[in-house]
Structure 1
Amino acid sequence: MSLLRRWFDPIRSSWFYQKPVRQEVLSTEQGLSIYLRLDDVYSYLAVQQLTQLDDILTDDLKPLKVIISNTSSEPPNGMTLEEWRNYSLEDAKILANQHRFSYDDEKPEQPSPEALKQAEIILRNTPLTGQNFLYLLEDVFHMLWQQQYGKLRTLFVMASQHQRPQNFPERIFSHTPILESYFEFGGRKYHAVDDLLRLTRRLKQQKLLTGNPIFLINHIEWREHLMSDAEELAEIQTMHPELDLYIALEDPISWLLLAYIKEELANYYNIQLNLYPLSYHGRDSFDWSLATRLSKRSEVKFTPFCRPTAEGTLNMAQLYYSVPEEQRVDVMYDILQAVWTKGRDLSFKPHLQQMQQDLAIQDLTDLDVEPLLKANDQQCAEKHQPDFPVLELRIEGKRYVFNSLYRVWMIESIFSNVLEHKYKTENELERAQHMSEAQDAEKTNDQKREV
């Protein structure tokens, strides 16, 4: 890290960290927009909330602008289009189960090209506006994603024969590449599902809602545990869950999530935490405001300065691999804490030496850590996840893979589902046993009567 950055980053980020997390007022001049794609499964989930959202918007944000694109942007993290589609279909199923969205659980599949063309003509030609259009939009998405192609064709025939293309300023059809659905307000983008609560908090703060926004009712807040019953908690603890965490060392979100999981979840649920540091991925241009908001909400300290360079991440990995395996999680916690809260630059020799002393490491490992990081990269790539950190949870013989700050809630949700399945299985076995005993008793009685 250059001398200029070493001195300038702390000043710049200290100023950033001290300023208010939220800009007090975002402009309403451009209104509220939602960007959709008919073949995007996240758009399918998003449209199921639009009529409810539109119902509580103030007149300043009406009409809700709907932009429908027919072009997808490139999948993230080097994924192929097929990998992204498979991931998003499975991820949407998880979101739908958690938040009670309508979804095809058995065999979700992409709508056919012909159905997509018919749906676009229906939406282009309809004279409906306002909430009536939003209801139609939701119905069309249901037809596409539940393969109700007969209904869709009926609407298409009516729209193509008896209506003509309409021109409404709040309804736009474009070729702008969109990967997944998102809202736009005041120049900021909000993921249509994952950031819906953050968006509605912002709108409520600016008094742009006429009622309470009740969305995503099973959302799990930071440091609010889903499971508090002592017996249920003990059941999970005896299952000895394991959690693998693949982290990019230069990514501040990795620090925030590792700290949160270690402080709040690992001991609480008796999770064995395994860390796999990754090689330098150039995640230097991170969203400071997002990381700062997450820091506040998760109550994990964070000051974004002295961002690790490629050399710094290698030195961090060398410290990590210089201690016994059972100490490595604690050591990585201390390393990342020093980097992201104390401004340690581990590409700077005095900082590295001080860190080695703080960790009581006598001698650094002679191992070449680069191949170790590359091996971790390969394992992580095999999980086919679009973002970091990547998490794999193992419990009761099953494995669950997910990623990023938006899916940490899945840890507790999975535990809850595992217990629910366990109790259900036990009850079914108990009922079956009672029925068997009753049948045996009845047979014995019949034999006695015959005698």
Structure 2
Amino acid sequence: MSLLRRWFDPIRSSWFYQKPVRQELLSTEHGLSIYLRLDDVYSYLAVQQLIQLNDILNDELKPLKVIISDTAAEPPNEMTAEEWRDYSLRDAQILAHQHRFGFDNEQPEIPNPEAILQAQTILKNTPLKDQNFLYLLEDVFHMLWQQQYGKLRTLYVMASKHQKEQHLPERQFDHTPVLASYFEIGGRKYHAVDDLLRLTRRLKQQKLLTGNPIFLINHIEWREHLMNDAEELSEIQAMSPELDLYIALEDPLSWLLLAYIKEELADYYDIDLTIYPLNYQGRDLFDWSLATRLSKRAGVKFTPFCRPTEESTINMAKLFYSVPEEQRIDAIYEILEAVWSKGKDLSFPTHFNRIRRELNIDHLTNLDVEEKLKENELLCEMKLQPDFPVLELRLDGKSYVFNSLYRVWMIESIFSNVLEQKYKSDNELEQNQEEKLEDE
């Protein structure tokens, strides 16, 4: 690593951390826009929040601009279109269940092309505006995604025969590539579901909302536990939950997630945690200010840091695999903490040797570390996830795979759902036994 980067990164990261959070105001010159695709499942979830959001928008942001695209962006992480479709449908099922969105939980499927064209005609031709248009928009999405094609065709016939295409600035149809629905304001993009709370907090801070935003009703805040009952905790611990975590060592979000899970969840739920470090992914060109805000919200130390290079990640992996297996969770925590909160450069021999002494490593591993990282990456790729870190939770005979800092809440949500199903099954079994005794 260059000497300039080794010294400048910690200074720069300290500056980001110390400056007032969100000091810069978002420009409202172009209002608030939401980008949708009729065949995007995240757009379907997003439109179910628009009426409530529009109702509390300051006049400065009205009318809410709705931009409907007919072009899909390339899937992330080298996924095929089919892999992305399957992933997004499964993920939307989870989000819908957690946050009480309307959704076809039995057999969700992408609307057929003919229905999408009919829906587009309805929305292009309707004279409805503002809140009334948002009601129609939500209804049309429900018809598409719940396969209510008869109702949709009736509306289509009426719209095509009795109405002409409308041209309104707050309602646009274009070819902007959209992978998943997102909001845009002041040149910044916010994922329509994952970033909804972050967006509304920002709007409230700028006094651009007239009421309190109440979205994602079952959202689990950082450092708040969904389960506090001692009996429930004991039952989860007795199930011996296992969590595999695939991390890119140069990715700050991997550090934030690992630290949060280790500090807040692993001991609390007695989770058997296993870490799989990956080959260098080139993820050190991140949004510094966003990562800093996430660290503050998650309560994880994150400054001054020194972004690891590819050489650094190999050395980090050497240290990790040089300690006994039962000590590796503590070891990777110390290694990443040294990088992301103490500004250590592990491609620099002095820093490397200091961490080695702190970890009491007498002999470095003879393992081919680069080959091991490739093996881990192959296992990770088989999970078919669009982002890092990748997590696999095993509990009560079932496996759950998810990804990113945005889904860490799923760990506790899964625990809660498993217990709920267990209690339901136990009650049904007890009732059946009582009925049998009565019959005898």
Query: What TM-score does the superposition give when structure 2 sets the normalisation length?
Result: 0.99
Say which SS state the counterpart of residue 48 (structure 1) adopts. helix
Q: Does 1:333 align with 2:329?
A: no
**Count of aligned pairs between the two proteins:** 440
The Cα shift of 1:25 comes to 2.2
Structure 2 portions without partners, runs of 5+: none
Read off the aligned partner of 2:424 and give its amino acid letter. K
Read off the aligned partner of 2:391 and give its amino acid letter. L
Residue matched to 1:449: none
Residues in 2 aligned to 1:286 and 1:67: alpha-carbon distance in whole angstroms: 28
Superposed counterparts of 1:248-267, under 5 Å: 248-267=248-267
Q: Does 1:53 align with 2:46?
A: no
Superposed counterparts of 1:3-18, under 5 Å: 3-18=3-18
Q: Does 1:378 align with 2:386?
A: no
Which protein shows a greater Rg?
Answer: 1
Asked whether the 8 Å contact 1:250–1:282 carries over to 2, the reply is yes
Asked whether the 8 Å contact 2:77–2:387 carries over to 1, the reply is yes
Residue matched to 1:278: 278
Residues in 2 aligned to 1:363 and 1:326: alpha-carbon distance in whole angstroms: 17
The Cα shift of 1:304 comes to 5.7
Say which SS state the counterpart of residue 423 (structure 1) adopts. helix
Residues in 1 aligned to 2:325 and 2:302: alpha-carbon distance in whole angstroms: 26
Residues in 1 aligned to 2:122 and 2:217: alpha-carbon distance in whole angstroms: 32
Residue matched to 2:142: 142
Asked whether the 8 Å contact 2:34–2:182 carries over to 1, the reply is yes
The Cα shift of 1:305 comes to 3.2
Say which SS state the counterpart of residue 264 (structure 1) adopts. helix
Moved more, 137-146 or 23-32: 23-32
Say which SS state the counterpart of residue 49 (structure 1) adopts. helix
Residue matched to 2:308: 308
The Cα shift of 1:211 comes to 1.2
Residue matched to 2:20: 20
Asked whether the 8 Å contact 2:126–2:159 carries over to 1, the reply is yes
Residue matched to 1:203: 203
Say which SS state the counterpart of residue 36 (structure 2) adopts. strand
Residues in 2 aligned to 1:360 and 1:63: alpha-carbon distance in whole angstroms: 62
Superposed counterparts of 1:399-410, under 5 Å: 399-410=399-410
Residues in 1 aligned to 2:59 and 2:17: alpha-carbon distance in whole angstroms: 35
Residues in 1 aligned to 2:188 and 2:162: alpha-carbon distance in whole angstroms: 39
Residues in 1 aligned to 2:56 and 2:79: alpha-carbon distance in whole angstroms: 38
CA shift digits 1:122-163 (9 cap, x unpaired):
111111100010000001100110111111111111111111
Residues in 2 aligned to 1:185 and 1:304: alpha-carbon distance in whole angstroms: 30
Asked whether the 8 Å contact 2:11–2:304 carries over to 1, the reply is no
Residues in 2 aligned to 1:190 and 1:57: alpha-carbon distance in whole angstroms: 16
Say which SS state the counterpart of residue 276 (structure 1) adopts. strand
Asked whether the 8 Å contact 2:14–2:303 carries over to 1, the reply is yes
Residue matched to 1:364: 364
Asked whether the 8 Å contact 1:69–1:173 carries over to 2, the reply is yes
Say which SS state the counterpart of residue 172 (structure 2) adopts. strand
Residue matched to 2:108: 108
State the identity %. Answer: 77
Say which SS state the counterpart of residue 144 (structure 2) adopts. helix
Residue matched to 2:81: 81
Read off the aligned partner of 2:242 and give its amino acid letter. E
Residue matched to 2:67: 67
Residues in 2 aligned to 1:288 and 1:296: alpha-carbon distance in whole angstroms: 13
Say which SS state the counterpart of residue 319 (structure 1) adopts. helix
Residue matched to 1:320: 320
The Cα shift of 1:21 comes to 2.2
Q: Does 1:426 align with 2:412?
A: no
Read off the aligned partner of 2:431 and give its amino acid letter. R
Residues in 2 aligned to 1:9 and 1:225: alpha-carbon distance in whole angstroms: 34
CA RMSD of aligned residues (A): 0.8
Asked whether the 8 Å contact 1:122–1:155 carries over to 2, the reply is yes
Read off the aligned partner of 2:181 and give its amino acid letter. S
Moved more, 88-97 or 283-292: 283-292
The Cα shift of 1:349 comes to 1.1
CA shift digits 1:394-425 (9 cap, x unpaired):
01000000000000000000000000000000
Q: Does 1:345 align with 2:342?
A: no
The Cα shift of 1:7 comes to 1.8
Asked whether the 8 Å contact 2:115–2:152 carries over to 1, the reply is yes
Say which SS state the counterpart of residue 365 (structure 1) adopts. coil
Which aligned segments of 4 or more residues in structure 1 are displaced greater than 6 angstroms?
Answer: none
Residues in 1 aligned to 2:46 and 2:412: alpha-carbon distance in whole angstroms: 24
Residue matched to 1:189: 189
Say which SS state the counterpart of residue 127 (structure 2) adopts. coil
Asked whether the 8 Å contact 1:288–1:304 carries over to 2, the reply is no
Structure 1 portions without partners, runs of 5+: 441-451
Residues in 2 aligned to 1:303 and 1:369: alpha-carbon distance in whole angstroms: 28
Residues in 2 aligned to 1:58 and 1:16: alpha-carbon distance in whole angstroms: 30
Residues in 2 aligned to 1:384 and 1:394: alpha-carbon distance in whole angstroms: 17
Residue matched to 2:156: 156
The Cα shift of 1:236 comes to 0.6
Read off the aligned partner of 1:409 and give its amino acid letter. W
Moved more, 13-22 or 142-151: 13-22
The Cα shift of 1:388 comes to 0.2
Read off the aligned partner of 2:340 and give its amino acid letter. W
Say which SS state the counterpart of residue 9 (structure 2) adopts. helix
Residue matched to 2:99: 99
The Cα shift of 1:24 comes to 4.5
Say which SS state the counterpart of residue 193 (structure 1) adopts. coil
CA shift digits 1:260-317 (9 cap, x unpaired):
0000000000000000000101112111122111100111000263211111000000
Read off the aligned partner of 2:129 and give its amino acid letter. T
Say which SS state the counterpart of residue 280 (structure 2) adopts. coil
Say which SS state the counterpart of residue 250 (structure 1) adopts. coil
The Cα shift of 1:228 comes to 0.4
Query: What TM-score does the superposition give when structure 1 sets the normalisation length?
Result: 0.96
Asked whether the 8 Å contact 2:304–2:342 carries over to 1, the reply is no
Asked whether the 8 Å contact 1:21–1:292 carries over to 2, the reply is no
Asked whether the 8 Å contact 2:321–2:328 carries over to 1, the reply is yes
Asked whether the 8 Å contact 1:275–1:329 carries over to 2, the reply is yes
